[in-house]
Chain A
Amino acid sequence: MIRCTAFKGGLKSSFPIVAGYLPVGFAFGVAAESVQTGTLAAVFTSLFIYAGASQFALVGLLKDGVPILTAALITLGLNIRHFLYGPGLSGQTEEFSLRERLVAAFGLTDEVFAVAFSRIGIMPHESRFWWLMGLEFGAYSCWIGGTLAGSISGDLLLSHFSFLRPALSFALPALFLSLLLPMLNSTTRPAVMISLLLAAAFHWSGHSEIGIIAAALIGPGIGIIGRNFQ
């Protein structure tokens, strides 16, 4: 009974995430369709990777003709920030067993972490795991549903409204900007500026993938050095 109530509570708490995931999932389905990956491949990607920005990155990099292994490594590098989410929740999930941690880890996306981090502390200890399961299930199912809807109806939309093709290609830069804006603060701004300059320099000289890796390593390095000097 406690499990069921906690799961429902988590599901209810996932509504703000659902509002964000449905359109982005739909946009991913359409983006995947626009590079001819097919509905099955789009849903397969969402089912297994389940990490919004990196899925868009994978599609974008493949579209640009980047070799698949390089695209996979860059995509994986983008998810490195998820490394911090488990330790971030650890203080409030000390009673989780190893099995529960292994299950809960799959759904720890940016948005799930943000909601869980802000609300799990007010849940009773015995309900926390099932509340987190409800939260993750709500977010995951709407991500898959959004991808499926975008992939199926996206094809129909693109065939009837051809102007949507260039318009939807803007979904990718729009997503990255929308993810970047909330992350900007006095700590991250210098690293972001360096990364933008590095990525631009490499991209304009025809070495996009090297630029992304360089930005990921040099930007934070300079950000840390700058912070130590302050």
Chain B
Amino acid sequence: MSYLSEGYSLRSWLTTHDHKRIGVLYMVAITAFFFLGGAAAALMRLELATPAGDVVSAETYNKLFTIHGVIMVWFFLIPSIPSVLGNFLVPLMIGARDMAFPRLNLASWYIYVLGGLFTVAALVAGGVDTGWTFYTPYSTTFSDTNVILVIVGVFVTGFSSILTGLNIVVTVHKLRAPGLTWFRLPLFVWANYATSLILLLATPVLAMTLALVALERLFHIGIFDPALGGDPLLFQHLFWFYSHPAVYIMVLPAMGVASEIIPCFARRPVFGYRFMAYAILGIASLGFLVWGHHMFVSGQSMYAGIVFSMLSFLVAIPSAIKVFNWTATLYKGSIVFGAPMLYALGFVGLFTIGGLTGLFLASLALDVHLTDTYFVIAHFHYIMVGGSVMAYLGGIHFWWPKICGRMYPEMLGRIAALTIFFGFNLTFFPQYLLGWLGMPRRYHEYPPEFQLLNLFSSAGAAVLAVGYFLPLAYLGWSLFFGKTASSNPWQATGLEWQTASPPPQHNFEQEPSVERGPYQYSVRSNEYGSQVR
């Protein structure tokens, strides 16, 4: 009996301790937030189609980009892969019956929903206009919008991240099946493990920092507002100490997804497995040392700027190792361009462009020119949307048969992947050019000479919207009418494919005994070596 047929009532879902059902609960919740955040972005692109600020007022526009950022970062991207796919797959991939703390796992979903409710309440009450970065002293003293309500929402949701991270860390350490040594772990598990360490160590810093913003706002005493004797740079240091590692919270799990899909659809073992694992840990650790590159023009010490610049360049090394190794995995492979593979290849290409433009921004002098322009917007959307969202969708397609026991329609899947890839580039590539030409971010109007590129970008956003609605439609359709999936439709090697689709409540009929590493693929025939015999 599969985990889906353990109970059909709403109650059976809302009181479940099954990591797979909790993963599905997260999927439903973050999908709702994705389209809410996307709607805000759509309105912004509509406004920016013409130079005049005619669709919304400047104040409304400020609220739109704030709510877009807050929702997409904390209510979609951060929980996307770890809380949906990580929750669903990590125990399966390591041959465990469930997470280490199943009740805590459910609690983390409720905490997420509670934080979401606060944020939606702030939206209904009139929104907030600080930007997702809550820079002081604007957020503590001047803004007259619902800052505290949103801060409470983000603060609460942070604890859901922390609890998910804690659960994954303990699960990976303690619940691996016999024979599953650290260097036999699939890279997806490595990536989620490293991400969870960041969730554990960075999120509490954000929580306390935002709490201090709220206290300063309430009592007009504090440590951030210079008028009160505080220092706004202190806020920026603390905020980015979390928010830069948060970028790696968003992209490391995406790398994990690509590392599962690419070997499977190229029928080749992943190139340089150990270096891939070390690179994940390298990115996670270096990520804690580069926050100052968000503050090159803030007035921090020039010497600090130089050190942060050099450390930021270092991140390129493990990132490049990963890109080269994915590429080398493809070499002489027997490549099938299935929908998950299209997403994964799209991820690699867009991540590379996003990463390389990150080097522009890590260069001190160049950053002075590019700070607060659309170049920055384009850069981080290439990482977060081109990278993370593409990989998330690739992962959803790849593991869809495992999650619900049905196949998605392959041709529609490929069309959607290509639509998203095209729409994404049309939306964001012009923004690199706009930023290079000097168009600043966060304005609802602009000089007429920027209109052509902005029009391309807005048209791209429309294509992207179609691309995102397609999977929502056909994946929903396939839940009821899709072809029944076999236990291992991709002939993949991981443990999660060694149990039924969808898996039974406790994942495996008997505890698997692992005998080899992941990715024992071969191009010569359809032979492949599962991790169990």
Q: Tell whether A pairs with B.
A: no
Which residues of B line the A interface, CB within 8 A?
Answer: none
Which residues of A line the B interface, CB within 8 A?
Answer: none
